[in-house]
Chains A and B, each alone.
Chain A
Amino acid sequence: MKSLAILSHKGGVGKTILAVNLAIHLAAEGKNICLIDSDFHGPSILTFFTPKSEIHWINSFLTGESSLEECLQDLSNDLALSGKLLVAFADPTPESIQNVIRLDQNTSMKMLHYLMKMKSMLREEPYSIDYLILDCSPGTGFSTINVMVITEIILFMVKVTNADIIGTSHMIEGLHKQLKSRTKIIANQIPSDFLNDQTKKEHFQKLIENLLKKDLGDKTVDFMGWIPNDLDLYKTEFETAIKTLEGNPTRRMIHTLDKPDHIISKIIKELANNLFGDNN
């Protein structure tokens, strides 16, 4: 089993969209996937799916109140995926989010204990998971550090604005000790015309790599590429939101599921190969 944590400095950069799209793509390829919402401050994986039964939040597994089995929903049949897609949702109620904000060291240790248990359970029958994907909260809270501890691959997502790119550079420096030997970084919401200009692209990639590679010593940061800004996405998401407000059952658009030929789907497939391919 390989495990991936998706991190960022700021919120709203596209972590959840990436996590969901990667998970769906890999499950459609016949791989067994476990997708965990570990953004306890802003749970949102739920908005992409129609959960089956009553939900046991993953929070309750991490505090020892529920079993892992209770917290995992198998959505592969509903979505006609050939591999397994097990999803665990985080509790979005204000009380639960308050609990996570106030998380003390001891509770955080308990969480880490259960995360490690979860990881070893997912490797074995009946789960036999190939890829574990964890969608984290932005920043460096206890819960995100815990997820970093248990995952092999750490992928930072940046939006190329000054606040985020400079912040990400500080974040990576600050987490130096926690980082694995290789850290990955991907840029999201890049204007499409920029991506069509090879010279500009190469120039900018160098600038980013210079910014992020400094002072990392023995550890390296790999730049994994760019995801273009999808101008239609905002409109689609707006329309979905209206439907939800009207009381209709909805789920948000997932590129790799709903638009497999879209440029974003193609880029995500390529990313999956680069992250999890045999050389990695």
Chain B
Amino acid sequence: MIAYAVYVISMDGRPLVSETFQSAETIPNEMLLAGLMTALQGVATELSQGKSGLKSIKIDNLSYHFKSFGQYQIVLVTDLPETPENVLHRLGIQFMKDFGEQLIKDSLDLNTFQPFSDTINEIVREELTIDNSKMIIPTKKFSSGELYQLPSHLQPTALAMIALKEGNVEEIASESEKSIEDTVDNLESLQDMGLIGKKVTNDHVSYFCSF
């Protein structure tokens, strides 16, 4: 599952701190925020009535997952509709530990919460996939029909990505039975098209797609 953004929002709807993992070209901030507002309206009554502490809403190919923690709620934006409950939980509990006391104060200084964006980064990186290349476009996904609309030299690499879901250049080259050089070129083209993302963890580079 790919994480696009995290928001910590006060119960009256004010963003306390947030972190986005995409470039503005692939997911414009306005789009994220507009979606967030719509989604918030959708869950506001239910969450405030305490009916359910957990809720997911899908808007424009983005899934907004909410978890309420009393005075605030965590919103996580991902590519898939399944709720990443564990991540929401970890983020919420950590925020409580770090800033629980600040929240009860009468006047909130938003700068207080700024350091939490690093915590968000750490937790999300551990649990979910983040596109370091910031090139994957949520509205552009592989589909078996569209696979064949791709230029034919890209099709084996695209198919290998579907088979592996995630892999390094060697694995993708071997799955598609193409040379490393061709695979590198093809992966770059697929990235330019917004179809696949790139993950870098301790010098290890891998490519992934969303479905």
Contacts and interface: CB of A to CB of B under 8 A. Distances in A.
Interface of A: 105-106, 108-110, 112-113, 116-117, 120, 142, 145-146, 149, 177-178
B148 A116 contact: no
B144 A142 contact: yes
B201 interface: no
Given A106-B141, A108-B143, A113 B163 contact: yes
B162 A112 contact: yes
B87 interface: no
B159 A106 contact: no
Interface string B133-174: 000000001111101110000000001001101000000000
A112 B149 contact: no
B149 A109 contact: no
A177 B149 CA distance: 8
A105 B159 contact: no
Given A112-B144, A116-B162, A149-B147, 15 more contacts: A106-B80, A106-B141, A106-B211, A109-B144, A109-B211, A110-B211, A113-B211, A116-B159, A116-B163, A117-B163, A142-B144, A146-B144, A149-B159, A177-B148, A177-B149
Contacts of A112: 144, 162
Contacts of A178: 148
Contacts of B144: 108-109, 112, 142, 145-146, 149
Contacts of A113: 162-163, 165, 211
Given A110-B211, A177-B148, A105 B143 contact: yes
Contacts of A110: 211
Nearest to A143: B144
Closest 8 CB pairs of A and B: A109-B211, A177-B148, A116-B163, A105-B143, A145-B144, A146-B144, A112-B144, A106-B211
Nearest to B163: A116
Interface residues of B, number: 14
A116 B147 CA distance: 14
- Mostly, the B contact residues are loop
22 contacts: A105-B141, A105-B143, A106-B141, A108-B143, A109-B141, A109-B142, A109-B143, A109-B211, A112-B162, A113-B162, A113-B165, A113-B211, A116-B159, A116-B162, A116-B163, A117-B163, A142-B145, A145-B144, A149-B144, A177-B148, A177-B149, A178-B148
A145 B149 CA distance: 13
Contacts of B159: 116, 149
A279 to B, nearest CB: 22
B170 to A, nearest CB: 16
A239 B193 CA distance: 58
A117 B159 CA distance: 12
Contacts of B162: 109, 112-113, 116
A105 B81 CA distance: 13
Nearest to A107: B211
A120 B159 CA distance: 13
A25 to B, nearest CB: 30
B208 to A, nearest CB: 12
A153 B147 CA distance: 19
Contacts of A146: 144
A146 B146 CA distance: 11
A108 B162 CA distance: 11
Nearest to A116: B163
A178 B149 CA distance: 10
Contacts of A116: 159, 162-163
A120 B171 CA distance: 14
Contacts of A149: 144, 147, 159
A109 B99 CA distance: 41
Contacts of A177: 148-149
B80 to A, nearest CB: 8
Contacts of B142: 109
Contacts of A108: 143-144
A172 to B, nearest CB: 14
A112 B143 CA distance: 9
Interface in B96-154: 141-145, 147-149
Contacts of B80: 106
Contacts of A145: 144-145
B162 to A, nearest CB: 5
Nearest to A108: B144
A106 B147 CA distance: 13
Nearest to A104: B143
A149 B147 CA distance: 9
A110 B162 CA distance: 8
